[in-house]
Structure 1
Amino acid sequence: MTTGSSSTSRPSAGSSESSGISTFKGQDRALRADRLGTGGLLLSVLAATAPLMVVAGVMPTTFAVMGIVGQPLLFVLLGVVLVLFSVGYAEMSRHVHNAGAFYAYISRGLGGTAGASAALLALVAYNALQVGIYGIFGFEVSGALLTYLDIELAWWIPALVAALAVGALGWLKIDVNARVLGVLLVIEVVLVVIFDIAAVADPAKEGLSLHAFNPDTLTGAGVGTALCFCIAAFLGFEQAPVYAEETSKPHILVPRVMFLAVGGVAVFFAVSSWAITVATGPSGVVGASQKQSAGLLFFLTEERLGGTFTDVMHILFATGMFAAMLSFHNVVARYAFAMGREGLLPQAFGRTTGTSGAPGTGSLLQTVVSVVTVLGFAIADSGPVGDPTTPVLKLFTWAGNLGALGVILLMAAASLSVIVFFVRRGAAGAQAWRLATAAISGIALLGIAFYTIKDFDVLVGTGPDSYLNWLLPGIIGAAVVLGLVQGLVLRSRKPEVHARIGLGNEAFQLDKVAEAAESSS
């Protein structure tokens, strides 16, 4: 039997089973192995970054709100920080294969109580990231229907349809989802690259200026908050270990995919944000972003590439968001599966769907949360059709920044956990350089988290005296505290459950040994 991950095994002679997954609890308590290779895993991870959404939405917003011309340099700096984070995180993935990823790693380093807290935090954060995208998706699709088909439709209708479609795909095989994500992702990237080339070929009057990479462009009070905006563009690469149980060689594929994802995203976004400054001119990018807002990219492409290209980009803007929703949905479902398997959620969440091996109950939970949240914001929306206030400025902005804050804190905790994990194993000397990178990245991530909380009113567009400035971050704080309480209660009342937090399939092996000992005594 294997430990630490599920694996497919050949049946013995005379066995009635054609195939099986070698975990003590059986196939319905393990995710299907050998379903993802490097390509499928990379596409599933990168889809969550929604490249066109970042280039069309995050970048103009950062230029406009923060007034920071050096956004390309920020992407380079953040890429360095996240590569440093990935060094220790990837090494941890060689020792821990669990769909709970963040909370499994934190459990191994900081203990089961901290792991229970991280589990609930991850569930809340990724749910928020996923649900928030429904707002901007519904708004974009509603606008497209009005523009191209003269159909007036409230934003929440396409948002609900998308939620149900994503939920249905969540029940399908992960390789089907990877193909869907892959096609959408490749087309998005190609469109943005075409724009980058067009911008370089037809620059503004300042020419091919590299001024945006000048460190002097990062001076000012908005740099910390701009970091918060930009780091949200990277979220998704850290999801690779979530799929570890569904790969044949997780100790090889997961680190490989993480470094490819971080490096590729950093270069892609740095070049694309620089292309925007070239197209507008570094001196004019802030003003153009303030004037055009999320329409800046489409304004620039129409000037250089024509209306047809821009129309196609609008369509891919929506499909890219759908891909991101599907990717985050899969991650939430797998976190719920891992938590159910280890007693942090009801046992029903710890079983997979028999026909596909997908975490069906977790998928259903995420779909219900999405539908209820969209309906709640729809009921509260008193604006006319086409008003972005509720779907974009509230649902998307509030939930997106809430989720980003949660993931930043998880990454900082994971950095500390990496250090403690290897020190306790007596491997501090052998892993010294990895521990150093984990420490540097952890400090940097805590700094970004500090600015996120400090400037939350700027991030969510509320006034300095708004109750939302403490209520929204308070949701993250409540998840941390409630998770700690659950961990402490389990340690006191169910120590055997507490001892298995973060162990995944390895806990099944402990059960088997215990039962064998009881039967022989």
Structure 2
Amino acid sequence: FIGFEATAIFRDEARDPDRTIPRATYGAVIGIGVFYTLSTWGLVMAWGPNGILAAAAENPATLMLRTVAIYLGTVGEVVVNVLLLTSMFACVLSFHNVLTRYQHAMSTAGVLPDSVSGVHARHLSPHVSSLVQTATAGVLLAAFALLGLDPLLQVFTWLSGVATVAIVVLMAVTSIAVIVYFTRNRQDRRPWNTVIAPALGFAGLAIAAVVIVAYFPVMVGDVDAE
């Protein structure tokens, strides 16, 4: 559930945001949903519904690579490992860009100091916010390293679990906010855009939030949890 909402924060950098942002958002939701559904189904089927938990408990960090090695051999395992590393770099870069623009927008709205809203004179990019995000990430990484936390099984797993719950709840509340906003301000009278779509979004996200909370221990690595 993390990523599809990022299309909106690039609105100011799009030539025709009223057209491209909705298309990009719908495309992201459908693409991410289909991809993760098929990926999860394939991983479970590779070990079997009764064997996936045991395989994950053996070593969660290498579950995907072990699965690939069984079906594609050593060469396939190496290829997927390289793709995994490059994908992680792409994810980190994406998170950085998104957080940078969130901070820039919050500064413009007066939530953060005005200095964070500065843009580059030539590239017009929010470079000040980017530097702030880089410094923040550096401080947090240093703290995690000093605490001796495992980067995958503790830092990534724990924080991504909390972030998943938070983003789902945030998107659910945002869906309600859309309905309330357009009820008070009749700027858009299209039922699908202002009532039906956000209502369906809230229902789906609310159900997802309940399921995530119910299985939260498993999601953050406690595969023995009931």
Match of 1:263? 30
Q: Residues 361 and 319 (structure 1 numbering): CA distance in 2 closer, same or farther, change over 3 Å?
A: same
> Sequence identity of aligned pairs in percent?
32
Q: How does 1:264-343 map to 2 (within 5 A)?
A: 264-343=31-110
Residues 256-294 of structure 1: CA deviation (Å, up to 9, x unaligned)? 111111111222222222222333334433333333533
Letter in 1 for 2:156: F
Q: How does 1:457-476 map to 2 (within 5 A)?
A: 459-460=219-220
Number of aligned residues: 222
Residues 185-243 of structure 1: CA deviation (Å, up to 9, x unaligned)? xxxxxxxxxxxxxxxxxxxxxxxxxxxxxxxxxxxxxxxxxxxxxxxxx3101110110
What's the secondary structure of 1:344's corresponding residue?
Answer: coil
Q: Structure 2-normalised TM-score? A: 0.85
Q: Does 1:352 align with 2:113?
A: no
Letter in 1 for 2:183: V
Q: Residues 423 and 297 (structure 1 numbering): CA distance in 2 closer, same or farther, change over 3 Å?
A: same
Q: CA deviation at 1:461?
A: 5.4
> Aligned to 1:373, which of 137, 140, 160?
140
Which of 1 and 2 has higher RCO (CA within 8 Å, sep 6+)? 1
Distance in 1 (CA, whole Å) between partners of 2:67 and 2:210 is 35
Match of 1:446? 206
Q: Does 1:395 align with 2:155?
A: yes
Of structures 1 and 2, the larger Rg is shown by: 1
Question: Are the equivalent residues in 2 in contact too, given 1:342–1:350 (CA < 8 A)?
Answer: no
Match of 1:405? 165
Gaps of 5+ in 2: none
Letter in 2 for 1:298: L
Residues 476-498 of structure 1: CA deviation (Å, up to 9, x unaligned)? xxxxxxxxxxxxxxxxxxxxxxx
Match of 2:13? 246
Q: Residues 282 and 395 (structure 1 numbering): CA distance in 2 closer, same or farther, change over 3 Å?
A: closer
Q: CA deviation at 1:361?
A: 1.2
RMSD: 2.5
Q: Residues 239 and 309 (structure 1 numbering): CA distance in 2 closer, same or farther, change over 3 Å?
A: same
Q: Does 1:423 align with 2:190?
A: no
Q: CA deviation at 1:459?
A: 4.4
Q: CA deviation at 1:426?
A: 3.5
Question: Are the equivalent residues in 1 in contact too, given 2:182–2:194 (CA < 8 A)?
Answer: no
Match of 1:484? none
Distance in 2 (CA, whole Å) between partners of 1:315 and 1:402 is 27
Residues 424-480 of structure 1: CA deviation (Å, up to 9, x unaligned)? 234786426751332232244234445555665554458xxxxxxxxxxxxxxxxxx
Q: CA deviation at 1:422?
A: 1.6
Q: Structure 1-normalised TM-score? A: 0.39
Match of 2:128? 361
What's the secondary structure of 2:150's corresponding residue?
Answer: helix
Q: Residues 308 and 454 (structure 1 numbering): CA distance in 2 closer, same or farther, change over 3 Å?
A: closer
Q: CA deviation at 1:253?
A: 0.7
Distance in 2 (CA, whole Å) between partners of 1:401 and 1:278 is 24
Gaps of 5+ in 1: 1-233, 382-388, 463-521
Residues 137-179 of structure 1: CA deviation (Å, up to 9, x unaligned)? xxxxxxxxxxxxxxxxxxxxxxxxxxxxxxxxxxxxxxxxxxx
Question: Are the equivalent residues in 2 in contact too, given 1:330–1:363 (CA < 8 A)?
Answer: yes
Distance in 2 (CA, whole Å) between partners of 1:273 and 1:401 is 17
Comparing both structures, which one devotes a greater share of its residues to helix?
2
What's the secondary structure of 1:352's corresponding residue?
Answer: coil
Q: Residues 459 and 368 (structure 1 numbering): CA distance in 2 closer, same or farther, change over 3 Å?
A: same
Distance in 1 (CA, whole Å) between partners of 2:42 and 2:29 is 20
Question: Are the equivalent residues in 1 in contact too, given 2:104–2:116 (CA < 8 A)?
Answer: yes
Q: CA deviation at 1:346?
A: 1.3
What's the secondary structure of 1:235's corresponding residue?
Answer: coil
Q: Residues 443 and 270 (structure 1 numbering): CA distance in 2 closer, same or farther, change over 3 Å?
A: closer
Distance in 1 (CA, whole Å) between partners of 2:52 and 2:215 is 23
Distance in 1 (CA, whole Å) between partners of 2:87 and 2:110 is 35
Q: Residues 279 and 432 (structure 1 numbering): CA distance in 2 closer, same or farther, change over 3 Å?
A: closer
Q: How does 1:95-134 map to 2 (within 5 A)?
A: none
Distance in 1 (CA, whole Å) between partners of 2:20 and 2:188 is 24
Q: Residues 403 and 288 (structure 1 numbering): CA distance in 2 closer, same or farther, change over 3 Å?
A: closer
